[in-house]
Amino acid sequence: MKPFTQNIQSLYQAHKQELAGSDQPQIAAKRETAANHFFQTELPTRKYETWRHHAIDELVSEKYDIQTQPSPYQPVNEYFKCELKNINANTYTFLNGWYVHENSPLTVFDNGMIIGSLAEALKSHPALVSEYFAKQDIEKNDNLLSLNEALFTDGLFVYIPDNLSVEIPIQLISIVHCFSPLLVQQRNLIVIGKNSSLSLVQCDDSFKNCESFINNVTEIFLQQNAHLHYYKLENKDEKSLLVNQVYVNQSEYSEFVANTITFNAGFVRNSMNVNLNEPEATTKLYGLYLVDKEQYVDNQIFVRHFAPNCTSYQLYKGIADDKASANFNGHIYVAPNAQQTNAYQSSKNISLTDEARITTQPFLEIYADDVKCSHGSTVGQLDEEALYYLRSRGICERNARRLLLFAFANEMAEFVDIESLRERLNDMIRRRLSGELTICDNCRLHCSAEHHFSFENISIKL
Of residues 185 and 385, more confidence is placed in 185
| Average pLDDT of the segment spanning 353-361 | 92
pTM, full prediction: 0.91
Give 385: exposed, middle or buried? Use CB within 10 Å, 0-12, 13-18, 19+.
exposed
| Average pLDDT of the segment spanning 328-355 | 95
- In the chain, where the domains are located: 3-381+412-458
| Average pLDDT of the segment spanning 318-340 | 95
The answer to whether 356 and 324 are in contact (CB under 8 A) is yes
The reported pLDDT for the residue numbered 295 is 93
d(CA 298, CA 269): 5
pLDDT class for 269, splitting at 50, 70, 90? Answer: very high
Per-residue pLDDT at 448 exceeds 70: no
Report the chain's mean pLDDT, rounded to a whole number: 88
| Average pLDDT of the segment spanning 415-436 | 88
The reported pLDDT for the residue numbered 213 is 94
Per-residue pLDDT at 39 exceeds 70: yes
Cα dist from 80 to 74, 131, 210, 267, whole Å: 11, 35, 15, 22
The reported pLDDT for the residue numbered 47 is 86
The reported pLDDT for the residue numbered 103 is 84
The predicted-structure confidence for 370-424, as pLDDT tens digits, reads as follows 999 998 888 887 767 776 556 677 777 777 777 888 888 999 999 999 999 999 8
Per-residue pLDDT at 73 exceeds 80: yes
The reported pLDDT for the residue numbered 439 is 52
Per-residue pLDDT at 124 exceeds 80: yes
